[in-house]
Structure 1
């Protein structure tokens, strides 16, 4: 693992401490397979569920959800660590006695981490302290994009329309759950009860009857003590991918895509974890979505406005509801969306004319041209 003068060294981080650990591993497999080895030197580093940085035991290019297996970064005796030396980010290997050796400088980081402690600004802050360029949103945008409550506040401030929702803070539920229930009952079922700071549909429950509500909150609180409750919107689920502009250009949006969850008899009441990752027949993406031209244009513009409202850099996937009346609601944005070759973000860009490997290259170029620190 030595630095070269001709190719940027890309530290590819994956795994992590969130419930989306396995999704991150599969994302890394796709990216590492597609990364242009003639242009970049990949340095894959896994993060275990306990937070240890490691040289992967298993080749991360082999990670998959096939056979219902969930890949995992395994711990090792030797840990890896980023340090700053002479103004440069350097990767070090440390044995159990604290003795270390230099594995070389890193030019840019590709943090393929989903959820808390990877996508929420914590890792981004560490990379800023090390002066290391990285792909994706900065500290504030990552934090706001991870927290569905503050994300919606930013959207509303920018004039975007969001659906009715309520937030349940940990102290509120623990002190007076009955008061929480009364406030939530101002919403109309069906409801979607979610961890406020989560993704990949982990911990989400659809509530069709109030008798299901307490159990739904309990499930969400297994992943986050803060819970958000969204009123169901009768509309088509439309997604749009956004990428930042090189050379100071404005961000641009892909064609709109529509998620179609298989038939009424499907086991999936909504686009849940299994429909996204493990049940290949459960859902499909239609891109470009069959929408009126003016509606598609409006959604693409709102996706870019949402990107700008949060102050996102690099990439973002925004999710919308398009109603029969023509109303458009922005539901949420994801600042590090699933990035496997079959994930919606790269699929939408592929349909728009930007294939997977070129998309990865453009994101790395965006990171390399962007300074760290205040900007």
Structure 2
């Protein structure tokens, strides 16, 4: 049987660029090379696409603080509507490899928010992860919270402001509503980028200024006292949930650096120390949230587990990190699915969804 050509797209114009590079490295290392041929497509911070060489597509790949894309002189573009020349060389104006499926591991803006998914759908290429709607909804924490609440799922109390409302944001009013401490975060970012824990008025306005550097909308939320529990979900129409894990931050909260830079920034308790009853409750809640937000393929559902047993969804991440210290692959490993097998299942789920979608009529008269 011929190998499937898997395009791995990584990097991107996002605050999570370096995280994406780490994720791509781990996927390339772990993918079953007996079954899949890898085509590397790195996107630099200016948005240009580069065809990568597997042996040299990254610089300083072992150092999360210094890792960077090794830009090639082989610029490429994706051509929608083509079946045999989907990738075109910009320097030689010739068709390159035909892709059977794409694993878009571009975290954050323009990769996780439905933009990449829409492009791949137009190009008619199967891709790993949620569709346009699920990706966009989960990226926007404000919209996601509204849908979760509508589905009867508990979320943190909060308020949302757009940038044009900035002058009306009043510390006294917000503090009266949410109490202290509180969290301020951009609505459309991941990996704790631009997130701050606020304890006083000075920190409040500083955090607002930082959040608006990353997005045109921000969320201010109450601080939930509880254990930070995460669960991985895998599947399309019939998703399954992993054994939950727990984040034990060694700093004030689970920051960007704790997640991806500092291996000692947080302790991961995998599996979490939970009763069988609570494990089942978290798994069921994870699948409920996954389906309520129209997710497919994969997602990591993050909860606060309060002392009284109530589960509060913090966020649902449709393209969680695949770095060597990332929770999503670790949760599946403890649940019985190796890193390599996890990648294979995600690719096959992408192909399965694409084949299902091809059965839909695209015109009234055929």
TM over 0.5: yes
Residues 1:150 and 2:147 aligned together = no
CA contact (8 A) 1:10 1:109 kept: yes
CA contact (8 A) 1:127 1:134 kept: yes
- The aligned residue for residue 217 of structure 1 is 208
Quote the Cα distance in structure 2 between the aligned partners of 1:88 and 1:137: 25
CA contact (8 A) 1:275 1:283 kept: yes
2:332 pairs with one of 327, 349, 370: 349
Structure 1 ranges of 4+ moved more than 6 A: none
Specify every segment of 5 or more residues in structure 1 that has no aligned partner in the other structure, as ranges.
Answer: 263-267
Quote the Cα distance in structure 2 between the aligned partners of 1:186 and 1:304: 31
2:56 pairs with one of 54, 59, 65: 59
- The 1:223/1:374 distance shift into structure 2, 3 A limit, reads farther
Task: State the SS of the aligned residue for 1:364.
Answer: helix
- The aligned residue for residue 294 of structure 1 is 277
- The 1:85/1:321 distance shift into structure 2, 3 A limit, reads closer
CA contact (8 A) 2:321 2:328 kept: yes
- The aligned residue for residue 265 of structure 2 is 282
Write out aligned runs for 1:1-375 (5 A). Answer: 6-56=2-52, 59-60=56-57, 64=61, 66=63, 69-84=65-80, 86-87=82-83, 90-95=86-91, 99-173=92-166, 175-178=167-170, 182-183=173-174, 185-245=176-236, 248=237, 250-262=238-250, 268-371=251-354, 372=357
Specify every segment of 5 or more residues in structure 2 that has no aligned partner in the other structure, as ranges.
Answer: 361-366
Shift in Å, 1:89: 6.1
Shift in Å, 1:37: 0.8
Shift in Å, 1:184: 5.6
Task: State the SS of the aligned residue for 1:55.
Answer: strand
- The 1:359/1:89 distance shift into structure 2, 3 A limit, reads farther
Number of residue-to-residue matches in the alignment: 357
1:163-221 alpha-carbon deviations (Å, 9 max, x no partner): 10111111111x4334x763464111111111111111111110012331000111111
Shift in Å, 1:104: 2.0
- The 1:152/1:374 distance shift into structure 2, 3 A limit, reads farther
Quote the Cα distance in structure 1 between the aligned partners of 2:301 and 2:59: 29
CA contact (8 A) 1:89 1:131 kept: no
- The 1:34/1:182 distance shift into structure 2, 3 A limit, reads same
Quote the Cα distance in structure 1 between the aligned partners of 2:264 and 2:315: 25
Shift in Å, 1:373: 6.7
Quote the Cα distance in structure 1 between the aligned partners of 2:62 and 2:182: 29
Using the size of structure 2 for normalisation, the TM-score is: 0.92
CA contact (8 A) 1:25 1:71 kept: yes
1:54-96 alpha-carbon deviations (Å, 9 max, x no partner): 0237724665462x6332225454420111455456111112x
- The aligned residue for residue 265 of structure 1 is none
Quote the Cα distance in structure 2 between the aligned partners of 1:87 and 1:184: 56
Shift in Å, 1:224: 1.1
Using the size of structure 1 for normalisation, the TM-score is: 0.90
Task: State the SS of the aligned residue for 1:238.
Answer: strand
